[in-house]
Chain A
Amino acid sequence: MRSKIVILALSNLNKLIMYEYLVQAQEFISQPWPWWMGAFVIGATMFILLYFDKEFGLSANLRIMCAADGAGDYADFFDFDWGKQGWNLMVALGAMFGAYMAANYFGGDYQAHISPATVETLNEIAGSEVLTYGNVPIVPGADIIHPDVPEFWNIYSWKSLFTVRGLIVIILGGFLIGFGARYAGGCTSGHAISGLADLQLPSLVAVIGFFIGGLIMTWFILPYILTIGF
């Protein structure tokens, strides 16, 4: 009888320790990750895809989704066997699930740990001190988990979609990304990661293009768009 209790206690203790470990692991993963973790995340992604004779490039999914919706009737560009590309949609699906887990269970403090200089720049754009250093929401949009986003930065929300600013940011931004990614033949994952890793000169040109476009937008256009209605 006594030995039974001891065993029971021991096995429960064991469970408790396991639980402690799990909590510690969760806390450990929930910390903000340093930039060099990119080597492992991107390395693992590329290794597995190359091993299965595939290539890494997420914007191709847009073309696949267009083709799946019957765009092949309107342009030859979408007239291809998209069924064979189904694996890429699975990568996108996995990315959605991974993000769901990361955001809901390993979110940590939900802050973007950006530099003080950037906080200053963001406040300059907003025209007032809406953000403080060390308290910058990771995503500029309020949701259930993280509702306290300053109104000025509440861009990724349905409410914002029905403002001029939100329409430009979400709809025009989406259009430019979809158009540009296919025109350039790849996006950040296809050119900046896969292409550069394969020492492709066209990819370097495309990445330089990304930066030219990005710098023009960030420095000369974005501050005016973000302040429409504010």
Chain B
Amino acid sequence: MKMFKYIVVGFIFGFGMWKLEAISTFRIIEMFHFQSFHMYGIIMTGVISGLIITQLFRRGKIKTIKGVTKQFNDKDKTWPRYIYGGIIFGMGWALTGVCSGMMFVLLGAGYTVFAVFMAAAMLGTFAYGYFRKYLPH
């Protein structure tokens, strides 16, 4: 089972996100009202541990399974896409209180209406792919 490890990764993530209440719309509203440290704490500790791990991989202190240093791709430094795309994503995030990873988590937890949400998100992704050449990047 080559893919089994990825299911395990997803399991840890989905389980953790539910238990950390990161899937809760109320937590997202709380975050955007700056009324609790909880969500910032999750993101901050996540970034800090992610930063240590990423740097260890980047500098070759930890090798990948193939025994080589992991190659990271720098993101393109063209700014409009991050600003416009970021704002659009942020509006969707606050409107539904769910981001793209959490829709899988909520669907798995039994909120089947998220199948519709996912279809809408796929439509949005498709619309981006279709109108990509007309958008400033």
Contact = CB atoms under 8 A, between A and B. Distances in A.
Interface of A: 29, 32-33, 35-54, 58-59, 61-63, 65-66, 69, 71, 74-75, 77-78, 86-88, 90-104, 106, 112-115, 117-118, 121-122, 136, 138-141, 143-145, 155-158, 160-161, 168-185, 187-189, 191-203, 205-219, 221-222, 225
Contact of B13 (A95, A191, A199): A95
B89 A184 contact: yes
B109 to A, nearest CB: 4
* Chain B interface, >50% SS class: helix
Contacts, number: 496
A174 B35 contact: no
Contacts of B3: 86-87, 90
Given A62-B125, A118-B29, A98 B10 contact: yes
B109 A99 contact: yes
A-B residue pairs, 7 tightest by C-beta: A209-B86, A94-B10, A213-B90, A178-B124, A96-B108, A184-B85, A180-B89
24 contacts: A43-B52, A45-B13, A53-B65, A53-B66, A62-B118, A88-B6, A90-B10, A91-B7, A93-B104, A95-B10, A95-B11, A103-B109, A118-B33, A138-B23, A174-B119, A177-B100, A178-B123, A181-B121, A185-B76, A193-B43, A200-B75, A213-B92, A215-B32, A218-B29
Contacts of B6: 52, 54, 87-88, 90-91, 94
A201 B38 CA distance: 25
Interface of B: 3, 5-30, 32-33, 35-39, 41-54, 57-58, 62, 64-66, 70, 72, 74-77, 79, 81-101, 103-114, 116-130, 132, 135
* Chain A interface, >50% SS class: helix
Contacts of A117: 33, 35-36
Nearest to B72: A198
A98 B110 contact: no
